[in-house]
């Protein structure tokens, strides 16, 4: 298991390096954060030149990336190029520190993702197992209809509708301190993000359950006199969770995208709001930091999913260990 986890971590680090270069090149070649200084007359042009030299904005993109990578290792994400509206600055052209901004926003987004994925996994397992016990029955047809309806509605539409029913945007925001305040700020965003996903992934669990319930081991379990509930939840469901978790991990990027839409609708001050602010400032360094942190969030959740799949299906981790020993 240790070899399996180490291999996944090394792959994640190489993937993160490629993502950081792609994001830095895309933003660095297309955005100029010093454009407001073009309207500042001679003094503004002089300040713009100083910033271009200080941040290496006119160097080749590979050279700029190496400077950024060195700064990332030694000083973190650094500062924004220019002070941005609504942020505290030390005056002049000194930008704001990126690290506290992006990590605070990432913590909000990670909380939303973690709770939502927990609800999705538990809800999908229950929905799929219940539907598979009596296929084509009333409960099964009701749950399948629920799945089609919830998955066909975009996440932001669900969020807007819930806001209309339960309160305006001013009632929400980033998760507060204390369990009561935290729940008050998280219930609707989590429901918005989870509703359609439970419907979608419940169908995956149902399909996998129907296959598992027809396998010889479930027939033998019934022949031994085990209760149907135990056969369904202890035997068939366990073997159906491995492909389900694999599917969720493969589509985690889409789940993160939906979480950003939820973050924006409920004004949670997560990575979505910070990304839009950085895009308005055309700051490639802050935008790259946000993309890198988003990639870290996705990779961490994917690594957890890989470990869970390895625990549910030993053939995966044993297969990986066998390949590494060849």
Domain ranges in the chain with CATH number 1.10.3720.10? 99-314
Tokens 């993309």, located at residue: 291
* Domain 99-314, CATH: 1.10.3720.10
Q: pLDDT at position 102, please?
A: 92
Q: So what's the pLDDT on residue 92?
A: 47
DSSP H helices in 153-283: 155-166, 179-213, 216-223, 228-230, 237-250, 252-265, 271-281
DSSP class per residue in 265-307: HTT--SHHHHHHHHHHHT-HHHHHHHHHHHHHHHHHHHHHHHH
What pLDDT does 215 receive?
A: 82
Residue 21's pLDDT is what? 94
Q: Of 182, 179, 232, whose CA–CA distance to 208 is shortest?
A: 232
Query: CB-based contacts of 182: which residues, under 8 Å, 6+ apart?
Result: 175, 176
Residue 30 to residue 12: CA distance in whole angstroms: 27
**CB neighbour burial string for 33-44, b if at least 16 within 10 angstroms, e if fewer:** bbeebeeeeeee
Separation of alpha carbons 2 and 307, rounded Å: 10
Do residues 78 and 24 touch, judged by C-beta distance below 8 A?
Answer: no
What does the pLDDT profile of the chain (326 residues) look like in tens digits?
Answer: 677 677 778 888 898 899 999 999 999 999 888 888 887 778 888 888 888 888 888 899 999 999 999 888 888 888 888 765 433 333 445 577 889 989 999 999 989 988 998 998 888 888 888 888 778 788 788 877 877 787 788 888 888 888 888 865 555 666 766 777 787 788 889 989 988 888 888 888 888 888 888 888 888 888 888 887 788 777 788 777 777 777 787 778 888 888 888 888 888 888 988 998 888 888 999 999 999 998 888 888 888 777 777 776 665 555 544 444 43
Task: Using alpha carbons, select from 276, 272, 244 the residue that is nearest to residue 256.
Answer: 272
Q: For the whole model, what pTM was predicted?
A: 0.76
């Amino acid at each position: 298991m240790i070899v399996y986890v180490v291999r996944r971590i090394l792959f994640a680090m190489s993937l993160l390096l490629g993502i950081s270069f792609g994001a830095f090149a895309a933003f660095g070649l297309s955005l100029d954060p010093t454009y407001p200084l073009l309207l500042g007359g001679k003094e503004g042009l002089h300040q713009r030149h100083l910033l271009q030299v200080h941040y290496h904005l006119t160097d080749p993109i590979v050279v700029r990336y190496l400077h950024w990578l060195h700064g990332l290792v030694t000083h973190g994400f650094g500062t924004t190029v220019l002070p941005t509206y609504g942020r505290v600055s030390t005056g002049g052209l000194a930008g704001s520190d990126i690290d506290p901004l992006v990590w605070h926003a990432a913590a909000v987004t990670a909380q939303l993702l973690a709770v939502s994925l927990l609800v999705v996994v538990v809800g999908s397992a229950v929905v799929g197992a219940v539907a598979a016990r009596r296929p084509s029955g009333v409960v099964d047809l009701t749950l399948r209809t629920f799945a089609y309806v919830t998955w066909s509605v975009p996440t932001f539409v669900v969020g807007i509708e819930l806001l209309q029913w339960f309160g305006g945007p001013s009632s929400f925001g980033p998760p507060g301190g204390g369990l009561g305040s935290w729940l008050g700020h998280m219930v609707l965003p989590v429901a918005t993000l989870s509703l359609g996903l439970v419907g979608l992934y419940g169908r995956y669990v149902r399909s996998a359950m129907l296959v598992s319930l027809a396998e010889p081991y479930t027939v033998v379990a019934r022949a031994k006199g085990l209760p149907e509930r135990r056969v369904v939840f202890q035997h068939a469901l366990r073997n159906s969770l491995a492909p389900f978790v694999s599917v969720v991990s493969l589509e985690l990027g889409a789940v993160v995208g939906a979480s950003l839409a939820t973050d924006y609708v409920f004004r949670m001050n997560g990575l979505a709001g910070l990304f839009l602010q950085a895009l308005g400032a055309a700051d490639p360094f802050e935008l790259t930091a946000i993309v890198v942190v988003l990639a870290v969030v996705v990779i961490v959740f994917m690594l957890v999913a890989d470990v869970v799949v390895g625990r549910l299906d030993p053939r995966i981790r044993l297969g990986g260990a066998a390949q590494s020993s060849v």
